[in-house]
Structure 1
C-alpha cells in the first residue's frame, strides 16, 4: 500500500518538475535561470536533511511523514493557483519550487529509514531496489504525463495534479498502523540528536565512502537535469511533450536496469565496481547528449543515462542503509542525502553557468569527461566493509564491566542530574603485541565515537609500557546508557578483539566518573 501510494506521489513530483522546468523556459529562457529551478528543488535537502533526519529519529515517524506530505500538498495547490491566475514570475516559481523541496527534504530521510521497518533484513537490499524501480517507473511515466498535461491543459493543471497525488500518500500513511517502538530511555533532544548523527557519520568509514562517491557521481550528472529543457527546446527544436518523453526515456532505462541490477551486482561482486561502471556509462551518455542534434541519439543517451543513474543511485543508497544501525538511520541517511543533493544543486548551478558562457555542447561534454575522471579518482574508497579479523571467536573474550553506581549517586543519576561522564578502561598489554593493540584501538576509537563519545584518548604508562588507559567522555549519564543500545554485533566484536590482547587474571578494568565542579572558597 505504501509503495503504491509513494509511486503515485513520485509521479506527481515528476509532473511538477516537468512543469516547473518548462514554465521557466517561457518566463526566463536562459540556461542559468532554468538550472536554478533544479537547484531550488535540490538545495533544501542540502540545507535541511540533517535536522529532518534527527526529527524523523526522535518523533513518531508516521505522523512526521504525514506532516511532510501535507506541506507539499499545500504548496503545490498555491503554485497551481498562482500559475492559473497569471500571478507567478520567475523568482516566485523558484521560491515555491524551493518550498516544495523543503517538504521533500523532510520526507526523504524518514521514508528511507521506514523501509527496514516494513521488510525483514534479508529482504532489505531487494526492497531498496524495488523503491528505486518505483521511483524510476514514476520518472518514466511522470514526465511523459506532465508533457501531455502541459500541452493539453497548461502548466497550472500539472501543478494541481501533483497536489492530488500527495493526497493519496497521506491517505495511505493514515491507514498504516505502525507499531510503537518500546523505549526505556527518554527521547533524545533535537540538537543532541543532530550531534550524535554527525559523530556517527564522522566515525564510519563506509559512510565516508558512500558520501564521497555519491558526490563524485551526482555533481557531474547534474548537468543533465540543469540543461535538458534547453537541449530539447533549442538544440532539438521540440516542445513540452518531447521534453516529457526524453525524461520518460531515462525512466525506461532506469526501470529496465532496476530489474536486472541484483544480477549485475552479483556478477561484479562488489558495490564499488557497480558504481564505477555506472559512472563511466553516465559520462558517455552525458557527452552523447551534448553532441546530439536529433531526437534519436538524444533519446538513446537518456536511456543509457537512466540505466547508469539507477545503477549508481540504488547501490550507493544500499551501502548507506546497511552502514547505518536503526537508532541513527534517518540521521545518517539525511547526511548522505545532504551530500549528494548538495552536489546536485551545486552542479546544476555550475553547469548552467557553463552552458550560458560556453554553450550546451561544451558544458555537457565537459561534464561527461570530468565525471568519468572523478570516478577513477575515487575508485579506491571501498563501499563494501573489509572482513574483520577474529570473527565470532572474539566474542567469547570476557569484556570489561564497570562496578554498579553507588546508591546515593544512583538516585542522582536516575533523576537525570548529571554532567559529562568519563569512562575508563585499563589494559595490560605484552610489549610484543603493541602494534596489534594500536591497530585494534584505532577501530575501538571509531566504535566509541559512533556510540556518542565527545572525546577519546589512549595513554601509555611511561614507567610501565605494558599498562594502557583508554578514556572517553559522553555528554551525560543518559548518553552513557544509550551506548549499549547503539552498539552493533560488529562493534562488540571490535571491542572483544582489543580485550583479547589484555594480559591479566580477568578482563580489563573498567570504571566511570562523573564530572564535578568543586566549590570555590
Structure 2
C-alpha cells in the first residue's frame, strides 16, 4: 500500500503526540527506530572491537572521527544534492549503500580478517553513506508535518535515536559478550531494510520548480551565501561547534573510562549508553511539559552546564554507580540541546535552501565532534585521561560566554513562504537565463529628516539582497539632488535574478515595507533592470587608420 501525506486532522493546540497523527511521519518514525537500534548496536560493537584490537586510546577515539569526518567532508555537497534532486530516490540509495557496507564489515569480522585499521576504514565508508543521508533525512520531516508541530516532530526524531541508544547498546553488548561483534554488524545491515521499504512506498509529492533550475556549484554557493548573511543561522553554528567540540570527549572517551579507569567489561559500556538513552527519552517528556518555560537559548546554556558536570564526573567518579545518574541527566541535556539547535535552524530557513543550511549545521556539528575526539584523545594519551576530561569541562564552561555575542533566535511565527509580489520586469527581446551580469536599481525620494531611518532600514534590505543571491548591493545618494537615493544590487545572471524573485519571503516584506514607507515621491519607487552589454558589436566601429583614404 502506498503511503501519502494526508491533510491533518482538525487543528488543535499541538502536543508531543501530534506528529503521530500524520501517517507517513508515523511509519518513517517507526522504521527509523529499528534502523537506529541497529546503528547503535554497530557503534558499540565497532568501538569495543577496536578497544580489544589496540592499546591506543587515540585509535579508540578515532572511531568517533571515522564516523564524523565523512559528514565534515560531504555535508555541504550532500545538502546541495538534496535540494536539487528527488529526495525519495536519494534516501533509497543511501539506505541500500549503508546496508551493503555493514554486511561487508560483519562478514570480515566473523572470518577474523579485520584489524583495528580495517574497522576504522569501513566505519569511515559507512559514515560516507550516513553523511549523504543525513541532510535529506532531516529535511524530510519538514515535508511530513506542518510548521506548527515541527518542533515536536524534531523532538520525536531525537526520541527515536535515544530509544535506540537505550536499547541498542544493551542488545549489542549481549551479542558481543556471547557471540561476536560480527553478528552485530550483520543485524545492523538487516535493520536498514525497514526504512528502505517505508521510503519505497512513500508517494512523495513532486516539487514545484520556482524559477530556472540551479546547477550544483551555483546551489552550493547560494547555500553558503544564505548562511553568511543570516545572523540567526550563524549564531547557531558558532554555538553548535563549541558544544560538540566539548561533548565529543564523553562520546570518544567513555569506553576508555569504562575499560581502563574502572576496569569493567563491554556490558558495562552498553549499560552506560543505555542510561544516556533513557535520560534522553525522559527529557522528551520533560520538554513536552515544561519546555515552554525556557527559550532555546536558555536550554542550550542549561545543557552545556550539565555537560560540564558530566566530564568532571567521568574524570573523578570512584565507581560506576556514581555515573548512572550522571549519564541519565546527561541524556536529558543532550536531547534538550540538540533539538534546540536543530529546531532553531529549521524554523529560520525557507524550503528552497533548507537541505543546504541543515547540511552546514551538521558539518559544523560533526567538525566539532571530529576535531574534539582527536584533541581530547591525544591529550589523554600524552597526559592522562583525567586531565583530558577536566580540560573539556573547562572548555564547555567558557563556551557558555558565547551566548552574549551569539544569542539564539527562535524562528517560531516566521512566515517563510515565497512572497511572490515582485512583478515580472518588461523585457524587450529574448534574454537567456545565463546572460549577465544584471544590475537592478531602485530609485527613491527620501526627505532629509527621514534619511537616518532610511539608512538603517536599507542596511537590512541590503543584507536580504546579498542573502538571496546578489554579489554586491548598496545605496547611493545623488550629490546633485540629495533627496534622490538609489538602491542597487548586482547579480551574476538573469536566471539567478529570477530565482531571487522566488526566494524573497513574506517575512521579508516587512523589511522592504519599512524602506518604502520612507519614500516620499508622488510615484512608487522606480525599478530599472540593466543587463551587461551584449558581446556582439552593436555600435559603429571607426575605420582602422591604415584603411582610411588620405585627404585630398
Q: Which residue of 2 aligns with 1:455?
A: 472
- Is residue 376 from structure 1 mapped to residue 376 from structure 2 by the alignment? no
Match of 1:502 in 2: 519
Instruction: Say if 2:212 and 2:499, in contact at 8 Å, map to a contact too.
Output: no
User: TM-score, with normalisation over the residues of structure 1?
Assistant: 0.94
> Within the alignment, does 1:46 sit opposite 2:92 as a pair?
no
Deviations 1:314-346 (A, max 9, x none): 011000000110111000000011011101110
Query: 2-side partners of 1:377 and 1:211: how far apart?
Result: 11
* Residue ranges of structure 2 left out of the alignment (5+ in a row): 1-26, 542-552
Please name the residue that 2:427 is paired with.
405
* 1:287–1:368 contact (8 Å) kept in structure 2: yes
In the alignment, the residues of structure 2 paired with residue 188 and residue 70 of structure 1 have an alpha-carbon distance, to the nearest angstrom, of: 27
Q: Residues 89-111 of structure 1: CA distance to partner in whole angstroms, max 9, x if unpaired?
A: 12221111111111111111101
2:63–2:120 Cα contact (<8 Å) kept: yes
Q: What is the TM-score of this pair, normalised by structure 2?
A: 0.89
| Partner in structure 1 of residue 92 of structure 2 | 66
Structure 1 equivalent of residue 143 of structure 2: 117
Question: What displacement does 1:517 show?
Answer: 4.8
Local SS of the residue matching 1:296: helix
Matches within 5 A, 1:187-266: 187-266=213-292
Judging by fraction of residues, say which structure has more helix.
1
Within 2, Cα distance between the matches of 1:173 and 1:111? 11
The answer for the alignment partner of 2:351 in structure 1 is: 326
Q: Does 1:490 pair with 2:507?
A: yes
Is this contact kept in 2: 1:286–1:301, CA < 8 A? no
Moved over 4 A (4+): 385-388, 399-403, 517-521
Could you say what secondary structure the match of 2:482 adopts? Answer: coil
8 Å Cα contact 1:421-1:515 kept in structure 2: yes
The runs of 5 or more residues in structure 1 that have no matched partner are none
Residue 425 (structure 1) aligned to one of 423, 432, 442: 442
Q: Give per-residue Cα distances to partners, 1:164-214, cap 9 Å, x unaligned.
A: 111111111101111112225343111111111111111111101111111
Comparing 40-49 with 368-377, which one deviates more in the overlay? 368-377
Alignment of 1:73-92 (within 5 A): 73-92=99-118
CA drift at 1:29: 2.3
How many angstroms apart in 2 are the aligned matches of 1:479 and 1:400?
A: 15
Preserved CA contact (<8 Å) 2:239 2:402: no
Contact 1:9 1:165 in 2 (8 A): yes
Report if aligned partners of 2:308, 2:396 keep a CA contact under 8 Å in 1.
yes
- Mapped partners of 1:385, 1:267: distance in 2: 14
Contact kept, 8 Å, 1:210 with 1:383, in 2: the verdict is yes
Q: Distance in 2 between matches of 1:57 and 1:345?
A: 26
- Residue by residue over 1:224-261, the C-alpha shift from the partner in whole angstroms, topping out at 9 and shown as x without a partner, is 11101111111111111111111111111111011121
Report the equivalent of 2:485.
468
For 1:305-344, list aligned pairs within 5 A: 305-344=330-369
In the alignment, which of 347, 365, 368 is matched to residue 372 of structure 2?
347
Alignment partners' CA distance in 2, 1:198 and 1:245: 41
Equivalent in 166, 171, 184 of residue 140 of structure 1? 166
Describe the superposition over 1:15-50 as per-residue Cα deviations: whole angstroms up to 9, x where unpaired: 111111101111112111101110110111111111
Distance in 2 (CA, whole Å) between partners of 1:515 and 1:385 is: 41
Task: Tell which deviates more after alignment, 454-463 or 17-26.
Answer: 454-463
CA contact (8 A) 1:286 1:305 kept: no
Shifted more, 369-378 versus 488-497: the winner is: 369-378
The alpha-carbon deviation at position 386 of structure 1 amounts to 9.5
CA distance in structure 1 between the aligned counterparts of 2:155 and 2:60, rounded to whole angstroms: 31
- Whether the 8 Å CA contact 1:287–1:366 is kept in 2: the answer is no
Question: How many pairs were matched up?
Answer: 508
CA contact under 8 A between 1:2 and 1:172: conserved in structure 2?
A: yes
Correspondence for 1:185:
211
Structure 1 residues 368 and 259 mapped into 2: Cα distance closer, same or farther (>3 Å)? Answer: same
The match for 2:176 among 144, 150, 154 is 150
How much does 1:487 deviate? 1.7
Once the two structures are TM-superposed, the CA of residue 263 in structure 1 deviates from its matched residue by: 3.4
For 1:355-387, what per-residue CA distance to the aligned partner results, in whole angstroms no more than 9, with x for missing partners? Answer: 111211111111112202211233442222599
**Helix, strand or coil for the counterpart of 2:508?**
helix
Task: Output one character per residue of 1:135-169: Cα deviation in whole Å (capped at 9) or x when no partner.
Answer: 11111111111111111221101111111111111
